[in-house]
Chain A
Amino acid sequence: MIREYTCIICPNGCEIEASIEGTTILEIEGASCKRGREYVDQELRDPQRNIATSVAVEGGILPLASVRLTKPVPKTRIFDVINEIKKVKLTAPVSINQVIIKNILNLNTDVIATKNVSVSTSILASCDIL
């Protein structure tokens, strides 16, 4: 079977055409680097995605700290992961790379902060006037 893929690994977005039998790649064309083949291979076996969202922060100069995963998770678990992250509430300060949830849902990946949120000294801290 011939299948077409758009590689999402980098912004080049190579259009890949692969000849496939089951989960085996017989022939592959269009990828400009070796990560293209790795991507198709993974799409066939167990598609993985990284995701980003935010976590509420109390007492910070911002109401939210953005977060992402250190490693992608199976596509089918994206919403489980999002719902788990939604339960978290942080207190400022938050710093980039701070681990927010270690080994989330035993998926062998951590949720880390991607934004610094320092403590607000203003009495207007809860007012979002950014």
Chain B
Amino acid sequence: MSAIKKDVVIIGGGPAGLAAAVQLRKKGISDILILEREKQLGGILRQCIHDGFGLTRFKETLSGPEYSQRFSDEVEKLGIEYITEATVIDIASDKKVISASRKGLLEYDAKAIVLAMGCRERTRGAISIPGTRPSGVYNAGVAQSYINLHNTMVGKDVIILGSGDIGMIMARRLTLEGAKVKAVFEIQPYPSGLPRNIEQCLNDYGIPLYLSHTITKIKGHSRLEGITVAQVDRNLKPIPGTETDYSCDTLILSVGLIPENELSLAVSVELDNRTKGALVDENYQTNVEGIFAAGNVLHVHDLVDFVSLEAENLAEAVAEYINGVKLPECSINITTDANIGYTIPQRISGEKDFKLSMRVRKPFKNCEVKILQKDEVIKTVKLKKALPAEMLHIKLEKTQLKSLEDIKVVIA
């Protein structure tokens, strides 16, 4: 098998991959290939038919398919090569990408690889709900795909576990399609999705949200017949005696997303245990030279606008890399206190302005994010609120750095 040479191979034709491709082309890189697993470009946005996308990126509110079509149209217009129904089965050393598609088994020899595979949903197995294994238990994204892509209704009498955004959006979608959504249960004492979705997807339709509750039993044989719900204590353990039974034929799980990094691991990309995505520097470069990552494969976003912006920033660095500009050594590590879940990037050079993306671990009100170097505060940002559901973005200029010492981000 002789390898086909490419400047950049982008794995995944969703919002991150498409935005990276368009920006790379605009920066003068022409030898680009996008490999997409599905029949069409667009990724998860193809099934996100609700509106609310694009307010940051395009200053207007669009549905998911419209948002992704803007990028697909640009890809077509700029003549960027892509292959659909192409599964990347391996990334070998020396940046070789092996893909299986209708064109056969092909090997590409890339100067740079962009990881843009997105994320996948946590399943019932990942959260170990006891009980039988009837049909009628779906992940929220799977139910969304059935209804919005395949014209197949999933059930009539619905309970939702987890207050993630997709779960709440599906609560509304199922209600509009004639199902009865009885309740949403969330194990944490705070919602995991955006406040506006609680308002417009649950409150608008009178769907109750119970915090600090979880499912302790799933009942039914061929089809789901009901569930048992219990309140949980501070350690998220069910409190005996608080159990309530609900009948339902459908259970939708919206219990978190995990970056999809099987391919990254195959080529020894180092992952961050907190994000489950790659450890990257300010150029979105992983520990493997020439392999970059952006979007949900790097860390799970709440808004696609920020996925596009992140991929565009990545593209600037990849273009420099392809043009032979040596990217600076990044030896300043960024750490956090226990209240901040993580930061992206995790290390920087100090020679470039950069933007930190991060999430808090619990809700804060009227708080201050402080960025420190050797116990000295180099930047303070005041916030009215900080929620785990909302990613925070803080810009830092290189002139604000006092030294090449490590950086710590804290919130109080």
**Chain A contacts for B51, CB-based, 8 A:** 50, 52, 68
Q: CB-CB contacts of A15-35 with B at 8 A, as 1s and 0s?
A: 100000000000000101000
Q: Is the interface of B mostly helix, strand, loop or mixed?
A: mixed
Q: A6-B199, A53-B176 are in contact. Are A11 and B303 (CB under 8 A)?
A: yes
Nearest-neighbour CB distance to chain A for B65, whole angstroms, equals 4
In the complex, which residues 144-168 of chain B have their Cβ closer than 8 Å to any Cβ of chain A?
147-151
Q: Are B49 and A54 in contact (CB under 8 A)?
A: yes
Q: A52-B51, A66-B49, A82-B176 are in contact. Are A11 and B151 (CB under 8 A)?
A: no
Nearest-neighbour CB distance to chain B for A118, whole angstroms, equals 10
Q: Are A11 and B149 in contact (CB under 8 A)?
A: no
A49: interface (CB < 8 Å) = yes
Interface bracket on B: 20 to 34
Q: Are B66 and A78 in contact (CB under 8 A)?
A: no
Q: Are A116 and B50 in contact (CB under 8 A)?
A: no
Chain A-chain B contacts (Cβ-Cβ < 8 Å), number = 84
B102: interface (CB < 8 Å) = no
Interface bracket on A: 20 to 34
Complex Cα gap A52–B170 (Å): 12
Residues of B within 8 A of A (CB): 38-39, 46, 49-52, 55-56, 61-63, 65-66, 69, 147-151, 176-177, 194-196, 198-200, 204, 302-303, 384-385, 390
Besides the contacts A114-B49, A114-B65, what 17 more A-B pairs have beta carbons closer than 8 Å?
Answer: A6-B199, A7-B196, A8-B199, A10-B196, A11-B196, A13-B196, A15-B385, A49-B204, A52-B49, A52-B51, A52-B63, A63-B150, A64-B149, A96-B69, A114-B63, A115-B65, A115-B69
Residues of A within 8 A of B (CB): 6-8, 10-11, 13, 15, 30, 32, 49-54, 56, 61-64, 66, 68, 75, 78-79, 82, 96, 114-116, 128, 130
Query: 4 nearest interchain CB pairs?
Result: A13-B195, A66-B49, A13-B196, A115-B65
